[in-house]
Structure 1
Amino acid sequence: MAAAYGIHLGNHSASLASYSNGAPLIIANDAGDRVTPAIVALNGTEWEIGLPAKSGQPSSKSIIKHNKRLMNSDFNADDLAYVEASSSCRIQNEDKVVYEFETSETTLYSNPDNIATKIYAKLFTIASHAMNNEGDLKLVLAAPLHWSTTSTERLVKCAELAGFDVLQVISEPAAALLAYNIEETAEDVNVLVYRLGGSSCDVSVVKVSGGFMTIEKNIYRSDLGGQCLTKDLADYIASEFRQKWKLDPQESRRAMAKLLIHADNCKHVLSTLNSAHVFIESLLDGVDWSQNVSRARFENVISSKINAYMEPAQQVIESFGGPIHKIIICGGSMKIPKLQSAIANLVPEAEVLSGISPDEVISVGCAREAGLLLDIPEFSLSDLNTEVEFLGKDIYLKYLDQTVQLFKEGTPPYAQNVQSIEAGGDVTNISFSLHEDPESEEFATETFNVESLSKPFTLKATLQQSNVLLQVE
């Protein structure tokens, strides 16, 4: 029996969710954590993925971080420089990107696709251990809205090499809406999706009308991310250490690497608690450091950055020009209460949806989509070319003497439309035909025997990636 899963692989971390018994569920990794660091390291001759790669002595490992930036086939020089600065392996970029992992015991070479495959393989192992029965692991992935088809295909290939059967790739904003079932909302709503991850920020306005989702506006920023806040906190701790011991951790790359790890952990603790304790063994010249950091102090440290983080959201809202009814926050950095308050204050009249942990929203949406796909039976209507995520043309339905617009341009795959069909008691068979416009020739047709159905009966149409499924009940 197949199992449905959703994965969001980010620059900084990865989240895995399953769909069973009608609900999505986050699957914890072998350390009991609900998210897995998207970090790969070579320690001696052994590969480490996730938390083992992040922890321990950074100086003894060859580490790659933020690999997803270079999975984008359209990455630029800034992306390459960012990955180089945050990692400890050498990166060659001539004909293609090559990572050189060097330790005291060996030197190995890899590339962004191989690293992504290792992370997916780690998640595949976690998912396999969570299954109660043997079966295929069906997967829906999320990709950034600005990625090209080539980049998305690379992501799919890596997941498949790791063992998953990839059903579909959806955009991150679409996954966020699916996580909260917003496509089922009866009234028309405009949703602001604000994602702030470890090293990037995406803001989108999505219009939902009759179950159809349309991306109205989007801004992507690669210069905004939670790492900026981690760096500010690390600098603050370094200044406290310098003031007491007259030693400057910022002059030591090793000391700052340790500081950044502890500052990142401290930041996450302060997202849920009012204080966090930082203890760093042998921070510099054998001197240990112990300090309590309050949430109020942390918020004061990052206060100068808040307006910069809100700027892309403000731009999208002003460019859209219409009312915003709901706000979805996602991305690990949006767990910070100060940022949640700031985004809510931009549109006070909007409902902020925060019932799902921000770093789990996208994987939950993917898992829900995977569960929906597995519930849809196979069918055989003529192919209809569509966009990977949104329908590129209108689709009309004709039956008896009626013509209705079934799906409009911009509809995402697996959207559904239910029609109430009136038919006389003497009608036994009805033919339904699909058209690109009311006057064009049909491109698919299906005939149903409705003699045994109560009148009026319903016709349910489901838009898939290259087909339309019709069912009567």
Structure 2
Amino acid sequence: MAAAYGIHLGNSSASLASYSNGAPLIIANDAGDRVTPAIVALNGTEWEIGLPAKSGQPASKSIIKHNKRLMNSDFNAEDLTYVETSSSCRIQNEEKLVYEFETSETTLYSNPDNIATKIYAKLFTIASHAMNNEGDLKLVLAAPLHWSTASTERLIKCAELAGFDVLQVISEPAAALLAYNIEESVEDVNVLVYRLGGTSCDVSVVKVSGGFMTVEKNIYRSDLGGQCLTKDLADYIAAEFKQKWKLDPQESRRAMGKLLIHADNCKHVLSTLNSAHVFIESLLDGVDWSQNVSRARFENIISSKISAYMEPAQKVIESFGGQIHKIVICGGSMKIPKLQSAIANLVPEAEVLSGISPDEVIAVGCAREAGLLLDIPEFSLRDLNTEVEFLGKDIYMKYLDQTVQLFKEGTPPYAQNTHSIDAGDAKSLNITLHEDPESEQFATESFNVETLKKPLTLKATLQQSNVLLQLE
């Protein structure tokens, strides 16, 4: 029996979710963590993926971080420089992009696709261990909205080489909406999707109408991410250390590497607790460092950057010009309460959806989509471009002495509409459908309503060639 999974592989971390018994569920890795660092390292002659690659002694490893940036076929010089400066392996970009992993024991060469495959293979192992039965691991992936088809195809190939059977690739904003079942909304809603990851920021306004999602506006920023806040916290701790010991960690790449790891852990702890303890063994010249950091202190450190993080959201909202009904926050950096309150204050009248941990939202949406697709196995969505015919004219219904507009012109197929009907003491009800109130009927349906509970509820579903009417 096939199992449904969703994966979001980001620049900094990866999240894996399954779909079973009608609900998505995040799967923890072998360390018990719900999120796996998207980091790969060569330690001696052994490959390390996830937490082992992130922890330990970074100086003894050859490490690649933020590999997803270079999975984009349209990456630029800024992306290349960012990955190169944050990693400890050499990157050659002549005819082909090649990573050179060099340790004291060996030198190995790889590329972005191979590294992505290793991360997917790690997630495949985690998913396999979580399965109670043997079967195919069906997968839905999320890709950034600005990626080309060639880039998403590379993502699919890497996941398939790792062992997954990829059903579909959906956009990250669509996955975020699916996580909260927003596409099932009866009324038309405009949703602001704000994603802040480790190294980038995506803001979209998505219109949901009749089960269809349309991205109206989008801004992508590669210069905004949680890493900037981690760096500010690390600089603060370094300054405290220097003030006490008259030694400057900023002058040592090894010391700052340690500081950044501990600052990142501290940042995540402060997302849920009011205080975090930082202990760094042998930070510089054999001197240990121990310090408590309060959430208030951290918020004060990052306060000057809050307006910069809100700027793309403000621009998208102003450009859209319409009312925002809901806000979905996603991305690991949006766990920070200060950022959550800032985005909520931009649109005070909108409902902020934050019931799912932000770094798990997109994976949960992908898993839910995978579960839905398994219910219709004959329906293939590997082709990302699908033609859909929308309703060309209004449809009205008439019953008793009432005339009601059932569907508007432009309504998508499989849209549904419900209508309350007061049939009085009538034992039967005759409903006719018309293209306009004065035209001849093109369909009619009769119902025996004698035994039905009053008032009646009519559910109409717009199908490809007809309208399905059901009384409840």
TM-score normalised to the size of structure 2? Answer: 0.85
How far residue 422 of structure 1 moved from its aligned partner, in angstroms, is: 18
How far residue 96 of structure 1 moved from its aligned partner, in angstroms, is: 1.6
- Per-residue CA deviations over 1:94-123 (Å, capped at 9, x if unaligned) read 112100000000000000000000000000
Q: Which moved more, 1:185-194 or 1:406-415?
A: 406-415
Match of 2:344, SS state, is helix
Match of 2:340, SS state, is helix
How far residue 327 of structure 1 moved from its aligned partner, in angstroms, is: 0.4
Distance of 2:383 and 2:430 partners within structure 1: 18
* Residues 110 and 428 of structure 1: CA distance in aligned 2, closer, same or farther (over 3 Å): farther
Please name the residue that 2:456 is paired with. 457
How far residue 154 of structure 1 moved from its aligned partner, in angstroms, is: 0.3
Q: Is the 8 A contact 1:178 1:369 kept in 2?
A: yes
Match of 2:108, SS state, is strand
Distance of 2:164 and 2:413 partners within structure 1: 21
Q: Which moved more, 1:458-467 or 1:278-287?
A: 458-467
How far residue 187 of structure 1 moved from its aligned partner, in angstroms, is: 1.1
Q: Is the 8 A contact 1:212 1:411 kept in 2?
A: no
Match of 1:167, SS state, is strand
CA-based RMSD of the aligned residues comes to: 5.5
Q: Is the 8 A contact 2:199 2:224 kept in 1?
A: yes
* Residues 247 and 81 of structure 1: CA distance in aligned 2, closer, same or farther (over 3 Å): same
Distance of 1:164 and 1:108 partners within structure 2: 26
Match of 1:358, SS state, is coil
* Residues 400 and 370 of structure 1: CA distance in aligned 2, closer, same or farther (over 3 Å): farther
How far residue 378 of structure 1 moved from its aligned partner, in angstroms, is: 2.4
* Residues 50 and 340 of structure 1: CA distance in aligned 2, closer, same or farther (over 3 Å): same
Match of 1:356, SS state, is coil
How far residue 376 of structure 1 moved from its aligned partner, in angstroms, is: 1.5
* Residues 375 and 241 of structure 1: CA distance in aligned 2, closer, same or farther (over 3 Å): same
Q: Is the 8 A contact 2:210 2:416 kept in 1?
A: no
- Per-residue CA deviations over 1:106-151 (Å, capped at 9, x if unaligned) read 0000000000000000000000000000000000000000000000
- Per-residue CA deviations over 1:422-462 (Å, capped at 9, x if unaligned) read 99x99999999999999999999999999999999999999
- Per-residue CA deviations over 1:259-302 (Å, capped at 9, x if unaligned) read 00000000000000000000000000000000000000000000
* Residues 258 and 393 of structure 1: CA distance in aligned 2, closer, same or farther (over 3 Å): farther
* Residues 349 and 420 of structure 1: CA distance in aligned 2, closer, same or farther (over 3 Å): closer
* Residues 227 and 379 of structure 1: CA distance in aligned 2, closer, same or farther (over 3 Å): closer
Distance of 2:339 and 2:327 partners within structure 1: 13
* Residues 379 and 140 of structure 1: CA distance in aligned 2, closer, same or farther (over 3 Å): closer
Q: Which moved more, 1:407-416 or 1:151-160?
A: 407-416
The count of aligned residue pairs is: 472
1:206 aligns with 2:206: yes
Q: Which moved more, 1:370-379 or 1:403-412?
A: 403-412
Please name the residue that 1:75 is paired with. 75
How far residue 212 of structure 1 moved from its aligned partner, in angstroms, is: 1.5
Q: Is the 8 A contact 1:388 1:465 kept in 2?
A: no
Structure 2 unaligned residues grouped into runs of 5+: none
How far residue 211 of structure 1 moved from its aligned partner, in angstroms, is: 1.6
Q: Is the 8 A contact 1:191 1:328 kept in 2?
A: yes
* Residues 382 and 180 of structure 1: CA distance in aligned 2, closer, same or farther (over 3 Å): closer
Match of 1:273, SS state, is coil
Distance of 1:348 and 1:97 partners within structure 2: 46
Q: Which moved more, 1:426-435 or 1:170-179?
A: 426-435
Q: Is the 8 A contact 2:169 2:382 kept in 1?
A: no
* Residues 472 and 98 of structure 1: CA distance in aligned 2, closer, same or farther (over 3 Å): farther
* Residues 317 and 292 of structure 1: CA distance in aligned 2, closer, same or farther (over 3 Å): same
Q: Is the 8 A contact 2:210 2:412 kept in 1?
A: no
Q: Is the 8 A contact 2:394 2:436 kept in 1?
A: yes
- Over alpha carbons, which structure has the higher Rg? 2
Please name the residue that 2:414 is paired with. 414
* Residues 377 and 74 of structure 1: CA distance in aligned 2, closer, same or farther (over 3 Å): closer
* Residues 163 and 418 of structure 1: CA distance in aligned 2, closer, same or farther (over 3 Å): farther
TM-score normalised to the size of structure 1? Answer: 0.84
How far residue 210 of structure 1 moved from its aligned partner, in angstroms, is: 1.8
Instruction: Could you list the structure 1 runs, at least 4 aligned residues long, displaced by more than 2 angstroms after superposition.
Output: 377-385, 387-423, 425-473
* Residues 436 and 46 of structure 1: CA distance in aligned 2, closer, same or farther (over 3 Å): farther
Distance of 1:153 and 1:214 partners within structure 2: 22
* Residues 388 and 126 of structure 1: CA distance in aligned 2, closer, same or farther (over 3 Å): farther
Distance of 1:429 and 1:384 partners within structure 2: 46
Q: Is the 8 A contact 2:414 2:463 kept in 1?
A: yes
Q: Is the 8 A contact 1:213 1:410 kept in 2?
A: no
Q: Which moved more, 1:378-387 or 1:4-13?
A: 378-387
- Per-residue CA deviations over 1:320-378 (Å, capped at 9, x if unaligned) read 00111100000000000000000000011111000000000000000000000011252
* Residues 210 and 279 of structure 1: CA distance in aligned 2, closer, same or farther (over 3 Å): same
Q: Is the 8 A contact 1:381 1:469 kept in 2?
A: no
Q: Is the 8 A contact 1:64 1:87 kept in 2?
A: yes
Q: Which moved more, 1:426-435 or 1:242-251?
A: 426-435
Distance of 1:367 and 1:71 partners within structure 2: 22
* Residues 195 and 463 of structure 1: CA distance in aligned 2, closer, same or farther (over 3 Å): farther
Q: Is the 8 A contact 1:171 1:389 kept in 2?
A: no
* Residues 368 and 199 of structure 1: CA distance in aligned 2, closer, same or farther (over 3 Å): same
Match of 2:359, SS state, is helix
Please name the residue that 1:131 is paired with. 131
* Residues 6 and 296 of structure 1: CA distance in aligned 2, closer, same or farther (over 3 Å): same
1:226 aligns with 2:231: no
- Per-residue CA deviations over 1:7-39 (Å, capped at 9, x if unaligned) read 000000000000000000000000000000000
* Residues 452 and 350 of structure 1: CA distance in aligned 2, closer, same or farther (over 3 Å): closer
Q: Is the 8 A contact 1:383 1:467 kept in 2?
A: no
Structure 1 unaligned residues grouped into runs of 5+: none
How far residue 51 of structure 1 moved from its aligned partner, in angstroms, is: 0.2
Distance of 2:138 and 2:464 partners within structure 1: 16
* Residues 347 and 121 of structure 1: CA distance in aligned 2, closer, same or farther (over 3 Å): same
